[in-house]
Structure 1
Amino acid sequence: MGVPSFYRWLSEKYPRVVSDVIEAERVVVDGVEVPTDTSQANPNAVEYDCLYLDMNGLIHPCCHPEDKPQPASEEEMIANVFQYIDRIFGMVRPRRLLYMAIDGVAPRAKMNQQRSRRFRAAQEMSQRKAKENEIRDAWEKEGRPLPPIKGDRWDHNVITPGTPFMAKLSQALTFYVNDRITSDPGWADVQVIYSDATVPGEGEHKIMQFIRQQRARPGYPPNLRHVVYGMDADLIMLSLATHEPHFTIIRETVLFGKQKGCHTCGQQGHFAADCQGKAKTKETEFDETTAVKDSPFQFLSISVLREYLASELYVEDLPFQWDLERVIDDFVFLCFFVGNDFLPHLPSLEIREGALDDLIRLYKAKLPLLGGYLTNAGEVNLSRVDVIFDEIGMQEPELLRRRHRQEERNKRRQEQQERDRQSKADALKRSRSESALLGEDDKERRKKSRRSDIAADDAVGGIRPIMPERRVIQPGNIVTQGSSVSANQAAASDLRARLSSVSPAASAEAPVDNGKEEASDPSTAAAEVLADNDTEAQEQEEEDVVAPSSSSSDEDEVLADLKQAAAHHDEYALFVKKAVEEMNRVPDAPDTLRFHEQGYKDRYYKAKFGYDRTANHDEIVEIARCYTQGLRWVMLYYYRGCQSWEWFYPYHYAPFASDLRNIDQFDVQLTLGKPFSPLSQLMGVLPAASSHCLPPAYRDLMTRSDSPILHFYPEDFAVDLNGKKWAWQAVVLLPFIDQNLLLETLETVRPTLNDVEKARDSTGSDYLYTNASHVVGIEISALYLKHKTSAEMLNSAGTHIAGDKSVGVTGKLKPYPKAALPSSRVTLNLGPFSRALSHNRAISAIFEHPAPVEHRCQLLPGTVVAEPVLKPEDFSSVTSFRRYGGRSLMFDAGGGRGRQPQAKLSSAGVRMAQHALPTRGSEDDRYRYYGRPSEPSYSYTNYGRQAGYDDRRSNRQPYPPSSQVYSNSGNNYADRRYQASDDVAAYSHRRYESYSSRDQYYDYQSGSSYGYNSYNDGRRYPQRGPDPYQARDDSRYAPYVPRGPPLDDSRRPQPQRRPPSSARR
């Protein structure tokens, strides 16, 4: 999952990175979809070389979709996976390589998160079932109609390595690859590498490890165009870490806020908090069976993101060479501070509160003083990171106070919104009550009048306009009215089946009962039903208008009952969903930590860790050491692969940044270890409720009273909202698995496994598939001609393939006995989706990756960087970006209590304003504020400094001259300057002056100074308070009378003014 909210922050701050995918229009003939010819040119006008599929990102929505009906069987789920891959392949159309990676056994650090999610999912499923039973009993007592009881929900916890479902899926995908290479011309020249769930490692990390190792080999084409599919936000960081400039991420379009709609009723235009529980207005009668439209896709361009980062992260006058590739690595590392899959985020940093923007400002201000970058090829320089944590720690008290103020404002706003919503609802009820006073006689007269008007129109052959609320149905053999709800349901099912099988064209041409051939307008051949639906009172009145027919009155009655039954079922489903949402919405708990008050650190460590800060000082230092070790582990994982399969962060919460001190003194070494086996991981992450996918002997260990590991599988466990609003956001307080005890216990029952279970518990290999006529396919065919028996295949040394021969893929190929050879028959046993491939043209072999080498964190020689696509206004819009209305605290100039300008121009508005302004008098004036385009240069050594424009971009031009560096107590400080608001002329200048025993901090904008005490450890703390650590965290900086006059105005940065209009002319 990566960093929560990171994708939203990125796509809103850097909007040009996202573009819509153009998908070829689907052609359907006689109800059968015609396959897209993927050998044709890409409709997106870009030809891609490699496509990588993080398979778990598509397996989950295919097996338990959120916006579509649940598949009826596992066979249908697997068929959905085939269709989903076809769709992505058709959008990207790779020409060289398709890499399909399913999550295998994860490192222990990720297993803890998987365990929390799966236990929480089982708990929520149990609570939902209990709540639904409670509602069903209440409705039954009230005599309200109920839908039939559904079977048990499909347990999606089985999408985990080692389960029978994953084994079935893996076997089916091997057939799928053989079939597509044989029958689809777009696959004919593509090599397919398939890594299933038996190969250890997360899918996205297996993909990135492959790319890192391939680009370090001779013969690798440096200008390959890569596309990776996946929904995890950490794919963005992983893609940046490859240092491949031609990289794109494809994912389903994500809607935010009201664009996405209410997750209670599924409708757009309001949030769940404002949901009134109304049923959705249907576009067609019984449209719940209508096929749901596929979600659109988006491209996220890493090359455009690199342009944005080259602009925003550029720092002038560094004492060392500025290198975009090194800065990108540091950016990836900073993103870990706000959360990832392996470490909890620091308490004072929330991405929703603008933490990443603050970190970027802090990084740019401190970089000139660090002597170098924070990271180097995945290795972290802890002494430099220590400076960053020191500054965050100094700002931590005010960050937490700012959060409290924002939460209070949000709370008052929500209360006001709730009052407004309630008043609107009351007014609407009063209005409806008044309209209900209209007599039934008036309604009947209007109904008869409308019918007579329609009959007159039909008599003269007129064409009636179709009103938006009218539903078109086809009259025919409507079943007679039943006497019970079940009969209505049966009739509804029959009607739905016939409606869904009639296309609009067929409906227009279908004859009616009177035998007359109708015109092409479907309204003249169908009955129209007008519905006036009042969901507040749950009253519906049908005003059915049908063509003359002997059974029209019976049909009216049947349709009325059918609609009433459907409405009851919709009401029940929505009622249950609303009740579950309310169950997951936890009422506000009392704020016992009170981060905005003094002593918050004592309260935090006592509540979250059970430690007293004074008595358990060594334990808190150990927490900081483990967190620092985790930061190093994560960075290495992203750049060099898993460096320790056994390491994990042994706490549920993170320390404060102010307690991450002297981290360069910590022992953060890692031991590689080895991954769990698939069944061992299942025992480490699954709850007892999902034990059905385990072998019987393993299953008993979860529930047997004398099991030595019974305490690993609690049915009831605590969850901590930790300041959040929804139950799914809570911290799951499960006990951590004792790895040694678990593995020792499993060894006692392992001999009971049968052959099939042993195969599921084994470690597998990657496989390479290609057409037998491909250059690599010829190499593989030679292997099978040389090694014909199973024993020879198993003992084969294989053959090496180089990148220049295999079009960029380097590794070793080995034959295996179960390979489907050319001209052989390949079958798929998948129930109603079973198929047979009579003449296979694909060939496959085991693929062994080359020996690991160090990742090259730079652009490769020969790389041709694409021409920049960003314009000056794109960069200027980034500098004014503020997420969630928060005020930047780190190095902020203050002013206006953080209030943002009430109006600002978008990039389009900037262009319009430029066009309307008088013509500037000189070429230099034209680019004074928005930068001058430079001549494009594609050298991989200076790409970062240019980013398509010179250093006079709008967010660079007004900067003051080079700052002087001052030194005190072993720490270096520099002038701090930055943009204070959207006004490019508003800046503040801050300077530290050095004294023997204390530092003076002078703020030119506020005209005040603050004093700090210096301690022997070289750090600076506020004067107030006997305990320097406590005073640093819980008190404001003590005011201090400045020594001597402030710097004269000549030393202050002077804002640039626009020349008068006469000068511009």
Structure 2
Amino acid sequence: MGVPKFYRWLSERYPCINEYVNQYNIPEFDNFYVDMNGVFHICSHPSDDVHFRIPESQIFENIATYLNFLFNLVQPRKVFFLSVDGVAPRSKMNQQRSRRFKSAQEAIEKETKARRMGQTLPNDPRFDSNCITPGTEFMNKLHLFMVEFLAKKIQNCQEWREVEIIYSGYDVPGEGEHKIMDYIRYCKTKDSFESDTRHCLYGLDADLINLGLSTHEPYFSVLREEVTFGKNKQRHCDPIRTNFQLLHLSILRRYIFHEFHELEQQMKFKFDLEKIIDDWILINFLVGNDFLPHVPKFHINKGGIQILYDTYKSILPDLDGYLNDSGTLNLKRYQKFLAKLSEHDLDIFNQNNMDFNFIDDVNDITFGSGVDLGQNFDFEKMQELTEENSLLSDSDSSSDLDDSSSENELDEEFVMHKNHYYTTKLGFKDLAADVPKIVFEYVKGIQWVLHYYFDGCVSWNWFFPFHYGPYVSDLAKIDTSEEFPFEMGTPFQPLVQLLAVLPQASKDILPKAFQKLTYIPDSPLIDYFPNEFKTDLNEKIHDYEAIILIPFMDDQLLMETFEQYKNGLTSEEIERNRFGFHHLLKWSEESPENPDAFDLNRFPNVFDHKIFINQYVLPREIVYKGVRKNVNLNAVNGFPSFNGIDYSVRMENARIKVFDFGSQNPTMMIDVEKKNYTIESIQLLSKNFTEKIVYINWPLLAEAKLIEIIDNEFKYSKDIKLKNNS
């Protein structure tokens, strides 16, 4: 799912979810979670200028400054959880590998272009962002720096002593945000976890929206830098110069309620917002995510999400339950959703086909005869084709095409089009056997991702073994009796993953014993380190969305090669290849003999309690699903929400400005109803609330003390009414 596109779509559709953060209206939060890799990237390479250089010491200083700023901005009251990407599941490694190959290629191309233009580049090497990968020397130095930085803050700063600080480094397996999710799931099973706990999650990935919603914690916000586009796109490693945004999932939850509330009167079973949210997360997978390619023809910027929503609304009343059972796919119901959605496969193809035919006809009219256009251009024919194309584009091909033979021809053309896609894009030789295989693996991937979001990792080794996704009309043919077994397996060690995801251009980041594996002709892995490779935009627009056509790493060959060459590792590299612990850092007056003392000479009051890597990983059967029973979803407690106001909802093509662009999508508009107060009701309000703390400035609520109420005639304070002469 494209980060900017999905984020922008949500902001256009639901304009109240975003808040520009400042010191006056940020809510209070109990737990603050930081997905650290976003901080690492911003602070190490804020500029793509080929002349830009930054020393390692400056990177570390930038990171310390950024974390100080984030902590002071949010001021968590209970928990500060900092999580670094460890070794990822195999299904994520394909994307990591693609990103690193692409970034290395782009850096080389920029430097080559600069030299060709006569520019002189600095002699010292540029910072290679691919070193922000578990197991590198850079990450090990950064890991040691981070633990000492936190110890120093705890020893010297009262505010940092008052919260529980947990640091999960690169040596703990799992993506940073998913280690955070493991921790939240773990906390939800504890009786001590308070019902009104407020969560704030910092990170750059739009996927954090889905992850936050999957927790079903009602008081949850996502913090990130402002998304900018076009010429004004920039980023700073100085947080003071950066605009931050809070996306309030508490408000998004209510928007989702209104998006689908019309279904309540049509359904055969109970309307449940929490189940609707679970399904909302599921159906968004089809426009792409980190683990599966998007299905053909469904794109965010081409109305793909609206099609998903409309299809869901049309099919849910005919089902006997929801598609997503708290992380378990109901395949029979999901197949019916796919079957309905597949109607758009043909519609979109027919529309595109008519567009291409129209262009061909216009070209024939315009250029076919090769004579002077001014004398022989057929304007009547041009207008006729234009009107015909316009009429057909607004019609439903399944109902409005009267000629059944034409319909069959279009169906046959669509089948031929799909066959061409599978044979050219995916290299299938036997379509009858190969298409069911990719369909099975894709739906299995949907189930894997669902588990990953709602339960945690259920298999370290499974991955989707294709660069492209199948058509929805083929997904709809999935056998509903299929089962999707997963073997848990084990995560790769850091240096194994490093060897799997780095390109040859970044070979210096590898241990010396492995560097030659990327270029010597007789290397067992040489085929997996191409210097040149093709990319495919595959209906996308921006280069960063392109599919990187490099081979998937062979896991068995990777492990065999690692075992063959690991004896060349140094003792320091062997140490970097081991798994470690979560660090629970606390300030205490305990005796110096405490074995958890961090460094008695420099930090006499800091204690580092090492927590086993799987401490927060729960078996699926004990994960608490849905909203906790002691939560009051209707409470008015100062956290941004729709509670406590009367309002109405309408959809409008409002063309509101989002990220400096006019919105392209319909917007859900909220009209707050104005209340008419009598003198008696104002006096009652004055009596009950004067000199008390109230909430103002909806929807970004802030606490205020009510001194008096003023209308056109009177000033009301507690039990007093005075003539208003202002």
Is the contact made by 2:84 and 2:170 (CA closer than 8 Å) also made in structure 1?
yes
Is the contact made by 2:102 and 2:548 (CA closer than 8 Å) also made in structure 1?
yes
The Cα of 1:90 is off from its aligned counterpart by 0.9
* SS of corresponding position for 2:598: coil
The Cα of 1:362 is off from its aligned counterpart by 1.5
Deviation sequence 1:12-57 (CA, Å, 0-9, x none): 111111111114xxxxxxxxxxxxxxxxxxx436321110000001
Is the contact made by 2:440 and 2:478 (CA closer than 8 Å) also made in structure 1?
no
Distance 1:902 1:199 in 2: 42
Quick one: which of 285, 289, 295 aligns to 1:336?
285
The Cα of 1:237 is off from its aligned counterpart by 0.2
Distance 1:17 1:766 in 2: 33
Task: Look up the match of 2:11.
Answer: 11
Distance 1:861 1:843 in 2: 35
Deviation sequence 1:825-863 (CA, Å, 0-9, x none): 33xxxxxxxxxxxx5432111123256143222211221
The answer on 1:745 being equivalent to 2:561 is yes
Task: Give the count of matched residue pairs.
Answer: 609
The answer on 1:306 being equivalent to 2:121 is no
Is the contact made by 1:352 and 1:883 (CA closer than 8 Å) also made in structure 2?
no
Q: Where does 1:190-201 land on structure 2 (aligned, <5 Å)?
A: 190-201=163-174
Task: Look up the match of 2:111.
Answer: 129
* SS of corresponding position for 1:715: coil
Task: Look up the match of 2:626.
Answer: 858
The Cα of 1:67 is off from its aligned counterpart by 8.2
Distance 1:736 1:210 in 2: 31
Task: Look up the match of 1:636.
Answer: 451
Distance 1:85 1:872 in 2: 39
Task: Look up the match of 2:201.
Answer: 228
Q: Where does 1:184-583 land on structure 2 (aligned, <5 Å)?
A: 184-256=157-229, 260-261=230-231, 294-314=241-261, 315-317=263-265, 318-402=267-351
* SS of corresponding position for 1:329: helix
Cα 1:740–1:148 shift into 2, 3 Å:
closer
Distance 2:347 2:450 in 1: 29
Task: Look up the match of 1:650.
Answer: 465
Task: Look up the match of 1:571.
Answer: none
Q: Where does 1:667-746 land on structure 2 (aligned, <5 Å)?
A: 667-746=483-562
* Structure 2 unaligned spans of 5+: 360-409, 677-698, 700-726
Quick one: which of 584, 598, 614 aligns to 1:820?
598
Is the contact made by 1:227 and 1:248 (CA closer than 8 Å) also made in structure 2?
yes
* SS of corresponding position for 2:107: helix
Cα 1:668–1:407 shift into 2, 3 Å:
farther
Distance 2:617 2:13 in 1: 40
Distance 2:225 2:80 in 1: 19
Deviation sequence 1:629-650 (CA, Å, 0-9, x none): 1000000000111111111110
Distance 2:665 2:471 in 1: 37
Distance 1:709 1:214 in 2: 43
Deviation sequence 1:390-430 (CA, Å, 0-9, x none): 011122121234467789999xxxxxxxxxxxxxxxxxxxx
Task: Look up the match of 2:580.
Answer: 764
Distance 2:564 2:552 in 1: 21
Distance 1:123 1:713 in 2: 12
Task: Look up the match of 1:895.
Answer: none
The Cα of 1:905 is off from its aligned counterpart by 10
Quick one: which of 95, 99, 108 aligns to 2:77?
95
Deviation sequence 1:555-610 (CA, Å, 0-9, x none): xxxxxxxxxxxxxxxxxxxxxxxxxxxxxxxxxxxxxxx99964311221121112
TM-score by length of 2: 0.78
The Cα of 1:107 is off from its aligned counterpart by 0.6
Cα 1:405–1:842 shift into 2, 3 Å:
farther
Task: Look up the match of 1:950.
Answer: none
Distance 1:168 1:903 in 2: 46
Is the contact made by 1:2 and 1:232 (CA closer than 8 Å) also made in structure 2?
no
Residue type of the alignment partner of 2:504: A
Deviation sequence 1:360-397 (CA, Å, 0-9, x none): 22212211211001111210001100001101112212
Deviation sequence 1:524-549 (CA, Å, 0-9, x none): xxxxxxxxxxxxxxxxxxxxxxxxxx
Distance 2:333 2:343 in 1: 16
Superposition CA RMSD, Å: 3.4
The Cα of 1:907 is off from its aligned counterpart by 5.0
Cα 1:860–1:687 shift into 2, 3 Å:
same
Residue type of the alignment partner of 1:52: Y
* SS of corresponding position for 2:268: coil
Task: Look up the match of 2:682.
Answer: none
* SS of corresponding position for 1:313: helix
Q: Which has the higher contact order (CA 8 A, sep 6+)?
A: 2
Distance 1:733 1:368 in 2: 41
Residue type of the alignment partner of 2:15: P
Task: Look up the match of 2:704.
Answer: none
Is the contact made by 1:379 and 1:636 (CA closer than 8 Å) also made in structure 2?
yes
Is the contact made by 2:419 and 2:431 (CA closer than 8 Å) also made in structure 1?
no
Is the contact made by 2:258 and 2:649 (CA closer than 8 Å) also made in structure 1?
yes
Task: Look up the match of 1:605.
Answer: 422
Deviation sequence 1:230-252 (CA, Å, 0-9, x none): 01000000000001001111111
Of residues 852-861 and 157-166 in structure 1, the stretch that sits farther from structure 2 once superposed is 852-861
* SS of corresponding position for 1:261: helix
Residue type of the alignment partner of 1:621: P
Deviation sequence 1:670-705 (CA, Å, 0-9, x none): 111111000000110001111112111111221222
Cα 1:75–1:652 shift into 2, 3 Å:
same
* Structure 1 unaligned spans of 5+: 24-42, 137-145, 268-288, 411-593, 789-814, 827-838, 885-899, 921-946, 948-1065
Residue type of the alignment partner of 1:236: I
Cα 1:758–1:734 shift into 2, 3 Å:
same
* SS of corresponding position for 2:192: coil
Deviation sequence 1:121-162 (CA, Å, 0-9, x none): 1112222222222111xxxxxxxxx66655432111000000
Quick one: which of 44, 47, 55 aligns to 1:63?
44
Residue type of the alignment partner of 2:177: E
Task: Look up the match of 1:590.
Answer: none
Task: Look up the match of 1:182.
Answer: 155
Quick one: which of 842, 847, 852 aligns to 2:606?
842
Residue type of the alignment partner of 1:625: F
Task: Look up the match of 2:717.
Answer: none
Of residues 394-403 and 83-92 in structure 1, the stretch that sits farther from structure 2 once superposed is 394-403
The answer on 1:869 being equivalent to 2:642 is yes
The Cα of 1:293 is off from its aligned counterpart by 5.9
Distance 2:665 2:624 in 1: 45
Deviation sequence 1:63-94 (CA, Å, 0-9, x none): 00038994520111011000101111111000
Is the contact made by 1:9 and 1:883 (CA closer than 8 Å) also made in structure 2?
no
Cα 1:246–1:107 shift into 2, 3 Å:
same
The Cα of 1:185 is off from its aligned counterpart by 2.0
Distance 2:329 2:469 in 1: 19
The Cα of 1:344 is off from its aligned counterpart by 0.5
Cα 1:340–1:851 shift into 2, 3 Å:
closer
Quick one: which of 62, 66, 75 aligns to 1:84?
66
Distance 1:901 1:153 in 2: 39
* SS of corresponding position for 1:312: helix
Is the contact made by 1:383 and 1:662 (CA closer than 8 Å) also made in structure 2?
no
Q: Where does 1:981-1060 land on structure 2 (aligned, <5 Å)?
A: none
The Cα of 1:666 is off from its aligned counterpart by 2.8
* SS of corresponding position for 1:9: helix
